[in-house]
Amino acid sequence: MTIRNKYAFAGVGLTRLGKVPEMTPDELATQAICLALEDAGLKKDEVDGYFYQPGIGGGLSDTMPLQMAGIQAPLVWQAPSLGSYALVMVAQAIGAMEAGLCRTCVLVHAASAASRRPVMSGPPGSGNTPGAYGWYGPGATAACMARRYQHLYGLTREQLGSVALTLREYSNRRPEAIMYEKKLTMDDYLNARMVIEPLCLYDFCLVNDGAAALVLTTAERTRAGRKRPVYVMGYGVDHSLREMGGAPEAIHHFDGFVTARAGEQAFRMAGVSLEDIDVAELYDAFTIFLLSQLESYGICKKGEAGDFVAAGNLRRDGRFPSNTSGTGLSWGYLMGFTQLTEGIRQMRGEGGDCQVEGAEVCLVTGLGGTVENGSAATCCILGK
Amino acid sequence: MAEYQKQLPAVTASNRPFWEAARRHELVVYRCAGCGACNTTGAGCTCDGPESAWVEARGRGQVFTFCVYRQAFHPAWQGDIPYNVAYVKLDEGPLLITNIVGCGNEDIYISMPVEVVFEDISGQISLPKFRPVKVIDG
């Protein structure tokens, strides 16, 4: 009994990305849900599972988008807002469907970070141990990773910049991307203001509003839908907790153990290997995350990811086409929904000017965590 | 004196001995009697060994990694820009989030030997921070 190819994505719904102050997060989510069902060719009364993730900025109020869309799903499940969780939601939804709790799930993420910019302002004297030292936001984790990587393997600003530029080139060709037609040069990158050294503005993902909804159902049901199904071939999850005591280097995937284990699980379930991957959508809240994952998934050897990206290998004509919409750094940041959305589109052949010709297997990843809780890595392999 | 605007450590039942020691300007770690693994949070050990206990630490370590904030993410830190936050790896093993003091941000480097100093921020709380050491004895 295998899960491989038993479930598939049937629909994708995406709102406008960027600054959308005229819509509440609930309205963005509602619109994404309706678009996803239309795309799938499924009716509202077929949806019986709802999995949602409030994004940066918050404001998503539980079942309100369901009510506004007129959907009466009995199963409602909220996921934490971490970068690893979109793919955990896939595992949760498939688990619920395997258990017979539901048959057609809608997975939703709504961000309102541009219109409801999150302010980190714990009141004076309130308890927050990292905050007591001025450690705020995941950018510090990424900056500490980059500094450590630089120390271990050498890392130039041009190499990090090549990640930002590669992704920007993709987004320049995608009309829905926030950075559509907005060029970025290496000079722009090198002269950008530092946010948390050694990372500058362009090492950080975008801050935007927007929502995405994905319809995940049984492979059988997708065959009656409007679009070609995109199968879930395998997935894997792991957490760095076991390293936090013994090998602290692994906290925040400094050495990538976590990512490697999530990948092993996913590839085993999918019955494919790295050589079978035609296109990848790697989690990119920060430029350094991409380098880290290229190495921990075994795409590059340790210390070689900077050169690998600078040589153009992530481009559409490169050895490992990746992040083909421009993803979190240049398309729009909807946590892991950014990568899943583009992965599904690539498998459908809907990548527009960024479509990887003949792509049949896609690697999608997630990465998240907090200082206190360690890091989590997730991996999913999609097939057409 | 103006009210302290920054946040404070989250003191809980598990980590209270760490912060009570810090108030006395002592650095302690929670050491597993079975395998010797240490942490600073009071978390249980993964080895299923006998009970852990708080023991005095040497107060020395090395900078594991660090970053420098050029933008304040919390209003109380605006006046400190640019400031560093570092992970220091204690000789006993655990990583601690802290600040490096006593040198410029540009002088910090990974593997820099450091020693603990305590900053009294209220009557109840002292923050362990770390400064460079020139010579490591022992």
Buried b (16+ CB within 10 A) or exposed e, A122-135: beeeeebbbbbbbb
Is the pLDDT score of A327 beyond 70? yes
Q: Sign of the CA dihedral A229, A230, A236, A237?
A: negative
Is the pLDDT score of A1 beyond 80? no
Could you give the number of structural domains in chain B? 1
Task: Tell me whether the CATH fold assigned to A7-117+207-222 matches the one assigned to A136-200+229-384.
Answer: yes
Q: Which is higher by pLDDT, A296 or A156?
A: A156
Could you identify the residue written with the tokens 């963005």? A28
- Work out the angle at residue A12's Cα, subtended by the Cα atoms of residues A7 and A13, and round it to the nearest 5 degrees: 145
What is the distance between the alpha carbons of residues A135 and A83, in angstroms, rounded to a whole number? 19
Is the pLDDT score of A40 beyond 50? yes
The closest CB to that of B87, out of A123, A129, A144, belongs to: A144
Q: For residue A316, give both structure tokens.
A: 């559409």
Mean pLDDT of the region A207-234: 95
CB contact under 8 A, A144 and B82: no
Mean pLDDT of the region A208-213: 97
Residues A277 and A243: beta-carbon distance below 8 Å:
no
CB contact under 8 A, B99 and A133: yes
| Whole-number pLDDT of residue A257 | 67
B9 in a domain, yes or no?
Answer: no
CB contact under 8 A, A134 and B9: no
CB contact under 8 A, B7 and A147: no
Is the pLDDT score of B83 beyond 80? yes
Q: What CATH architecture is A7-117+207-222? A: 3-Layer(aba) Sandwich (3.40)
CA atoms in the 13 A half-sphere facing the CB of B59: 16
Q: What are the chain B neighbours of A143 within 8 Å (beta carbons)?
A: 67-68
Determine contact: A133 vs chain B, CB below 8 A: yes
CB contact under 8 A, A121 and B3: no
Chain B closest-CA separation from residue A137 CA (Å): 7
Q: What is the mean pLDDT of chain A?
A: 92
- Work out the angle at residue A341's Cα, subtended by the Cα atoms of residues A337 and A343, and round it to the nearest 5 degrees: 115
Q: What are the chain A neighbours of B66 within 8 Å (beta carbons)?
A: 144, 147
| Whole-number pLDDT of residue A251 | 47
B95 in a domain, yes or no?
Answer: yes
Chain A closest-CA separation from residue B12 CA (Å): 10
Q: Quick one: which of A66, A64, A134 has its CA closest to A106?
A: A66
Is the pLDDT score of A317 beyond 90? yes
Q: State which fold the A136-200+229-384 domain adopts.
A: Peroxisomal Thiolase; Chain A, domain 1 (3.40.47)
Is the pLDDT score of B118 beyond 70? yes
Helices (H) and strands (E) in chain A — how many of each? 13, 11
Determine contact: A381 vs chain B, CB below 8 A: no
Could you identify the residue written with the tokens 């650095």? B27
| Whole-number pLDDT of residue A373 | 63
Determine contact: A251 vs chain B, CB below 8 A: yes
Give A 34-73 residues with CB within 8 A of chain B.
Answer: none
CB contact under 8 A, A148 and B64: yes
In 3-state terms, what secondary structure has residue A127?
Answer: strand
Confidence label for A259 from pLDDT (cuts 50, 70 and 90):
confident
- Give the residue numbers spanning the domain of B110: 16-132
Q: What percentage of residues in chain A have a pLDDT greater than 90?
A: 79
The closest CB to that of B73, out of A137, A144, A193, belongs to: A137
Asked if the peptide bond before residue B128 counts as cis, ω within 30 degrees of 0, the response is no
B93 in a domain, yes or no?
Answer: yes
Q: What percentage of residues in chain A have a pLDDT greater than 70?
A: 93
Interface contacts (A, B; CB < 8 Å) = 119
Which residue from A minimizes the CA distance to B100? Answer: A133
B5 in a domain, yes or no?
Answer: no
Q: What are the chain B neighbours of A242 within 8 Å (beta carbons)?
A: 46
Domain boundaries, chain A: 7-117+207-222, 136-200+229-384
Q: Quick one: which of B115, B118, B84, B110 has its CA closest to A134?
A: B84
Determine contact: B110 vs chain A, CB below 8 A: yes
pLDDT digits (tens, 9 = 90+) for A343-368: 999 999 999 999 999 999 999 999 88
Q: Quick one: which of A368, A373, A371 has its CA closest to A81?
A: A368
What stretch of H or E contains A366? strand A361-370
B1 in a domain, yes or no?
Answer: no
Confidence label for A238 from pLDDT (cuts 50, 70 and 90):
confident
| Whole-number pLDDT of residue B46 | 77
Q: What percentage of residues in chain B have a pLDDT greater than 70?
A: 96
Residues A213 and A93: beta-carbon distance below 8 Å:
no
Determine contact: A245 vs chain B, CB below 8 A: yes
Q: What are the chain B neighbours of A247 within 8 Å (beta carbons)?
A: none
Is the pLDDT score of A328 beyond 70? yes
Confidence label for A245 from pLDDT (cuts 50, 70 and 90):
very low
Q: Which is higher by pLDDT, B44 or A119?
A: B44
Phi-psi region of A152 (alpha: psi -120 to 50; beta: other; left: phi over 0): alpha
Residues A287 and A293: beta-carbon distance below 8 Å:
no
Which residue from B minimizes the CA distance to A130? Answer: B97
Mean pLDDT of the region A157-170: 98
Q: What are the chain B neighbours of A137 within 8 Å (beta carbons)?
A: 73
Cα pseudo-dihedral A254, A257, A258, A262, rounded to 10: 140
What is the distance between the alpha carbons of residues A80 and A376, in angstroms, rounded to a whole number? 12
Helix residue ranges per DSSP H, chain A: 25-40, 64-69, 85-98, 129-132, 139-153, 157-171, 186-191, 219-222, 241-246, 257-270, 287-296, 305-310, 336-348
Is the pLDDT score of A298 beyond 70? yes
CB contact under 8 A, A129 and B97: yes
Could you identify the residue written with the tokens 């540009």? B106
Q: For residue A10, give both structure tokens.
A: 């049937």
Confidence label for A141 from pLDDT (cuts 50, 70 and 90):
confident
B33 in a domain, yes or no?
Answer: yes
Determine contact: A121 vs chain B, CB below 8 A: yes
Beta bridge partners of A154: none
pLDDT digits (tens, 9 = 90+) for A41-93: 999 999 999 999 998 888 888 899 999 999 999 999 999 888 899 999 999 99
In DSSP notation, A113-127 reads: TTTS-----PPTT-B
Q: What are the chain B neighbours of A113 within 8 Å (beta carbons)?
A: none
The closest CB to that of B8, out of A126, A143, A196, belongs to: A126
Q: Which is higher by pLDDT, A85 or B2?
A: A85
CA atoms in the 13 A half-sphere facing the CB of B87: 23
B46 in a domain, yes or no?
Answer: yes
| Whole-number pLDDT of residue A176 | 97
Is the pLDDT score of A243 beyond 60? no
Q: Is the overall model pTM greater than 0.90, yes or no?
A: yes
Strands A104-112 and A49-54: parallel
The closest CB to that of B98, out of A124, A133, A244, belongs to: A133
Please give the single-letter amino acid code of residue A353. D
Cβ-based neighbours of A95, under 8 Å, separated by 6 or more: none
Strands A104-112 and A209-218: antiparallel
What is the distance between the alpha carbons of residues B41 and B44, in angstroms, rounded to a whole number? 9
Mean pLDDT of the region A179-194: 98
Could you identify the residue written with the tokens 């490169």? A318
Residues B62 and B111: beta-carbon distance below 8 Å:
yes
Phi-psi region of B25 (alpha: psi -120 to 50; beta: other; left: phi over 0): left
What stretch of H or E contains A237? strand A230-239
B10 in a domain, yes or no?
Answer: no
Is the pLDDT score of A370 beyond 80? no
pLDDT digits (tens, 9 = 90+) for B56-73: 999 999 999 999 999 999
